[in-house]
Amino acid sequence: MTAVDGLWYLADEAAQRAEQAYHRAADTYGAGRLERTYRKRVSRGRFRTLAERIQHCGAPYGAHTLVYRPSGELLVVRHEGVDMWVLPGGGVDGSESFREAAERELDEEAGIDAAYEGLAMLNRVEISCGEHDTWGVLPVFSAEAKTTTPTVADPDDEISEARWFEPEALPEDTRDREDLIDAVRAIA
C-alpha cells in the first residue's frame, strides 16, 4: 500500500532533486548539445533503488563520458552486468560533482586521460512502477582523449573491455547506439 511504504513521498522528493540537478548541471556545464528522454518501467524494488539514487544526487545512473579521438572514434566499454557496450560512467559517490564522478569512472573503467569540454547530452530518465513515477537526469560529458590505450581497472569487476570504434561501426549491442552516433556527430 502506498501510504505504508512511503514510495509516493520518495518519488516526489526524487523528482524535486532531479529538477534541481538538471538546472544546476545546465548552469554549470552548459545545456548539452542533445537531450533525450528515456522511459523505464521497473519493479517496485528497482524503483525504490533508483528513486533513492535520484534523491541523493539527481541521477539514477550517475554521470558518463562520451570520449572521442580527433579521428572521430568513440570509446565504449563492455559492461558484463548488462551484457552490453556502454559509455564509461557510473554512480556519484558522496559529494562528488557529476563531472568528478564521470572523470573517476572513466579512469576506473578505461584508464584514459581526457580533456573535458562540457556536456554532450543532458538526458531525462523517466522511471515508473505501477502508479509511481519519478525522473532523474543522465549527464553525458564530452571529452577528447589525451591518451588512447585503454586499461580497465574497474574495482567493481563489471567492465571487461574498453575499445575504440568508428561511430557507425559501434556494435549492435551498444546501449542507445543511435543516440551516441548522433552525439558524436554533434561534437565532431
5 or 8, greater pLDDT:
8
d(CA 65, CA 119): 9
Model confidence over 147-185: pLDDT tens digits?
989 999 988 889 999 999 999 999 999 999 999 999 988
d(CA 59, CA 38): 13
Three-state SS letters, the chain = CHHHHCHHHHHHHHHHHHHHHHHHHHHHHCCCCECCEEEEECCHHHHHHHHHHHHHHCCCCCEEEEEECCCCCEEEEEECCCCEEECCEECCCCCCCHHHHHHHHHHHHHCCCEEEEEEEEEEEEEEEECCEEEEEEEEEEEEEECCCCCCCCCCCCCEEEEEEECHHHCCCCECCHHHHHHHHHHHC
pLDDT-derived band at 1 (thresholds 50, 70, 90) equals very low
Q: What is the mean pLDDT of residues 119-131?
A: 95
Residue in 185, 186, 174, 177 with CA at minimum distance from that of residue 77 = 174
How high is the pLDDT of residue 187? 81
Residues 6+ apart with CB under 8 A from 17: 54, 55, 56, 57, 58
How high is the pLDDT of residue 4? 53
**Are β-strands 63-68 and 132-145 bridged in parallel, bridged antiparallel, or unpaired?**
parallel
Model confidence over 39-65: pLDDT tens digits?
999 999 999 999 999 999 999 999 999
At residue 101, does pLDDT exceed 60? yes
How high is the pLDDT of residue 129? 96
User: Which domains does the chain show, CATH number per domain?
Assistant: 2-187 (3.90.79.10)
Task: Average the pLDDT over each of 23-32, 87-96, 114-123, 137-146 and give the range with the smallest value.
Answer: 23-32
Model confidence over 23-34: pLDDT tens digits?
999 999 987 778
Model confidence over 60-94: pLDDT tens digits?
999 999 999 999 999 999 999 999 999 999 999 99
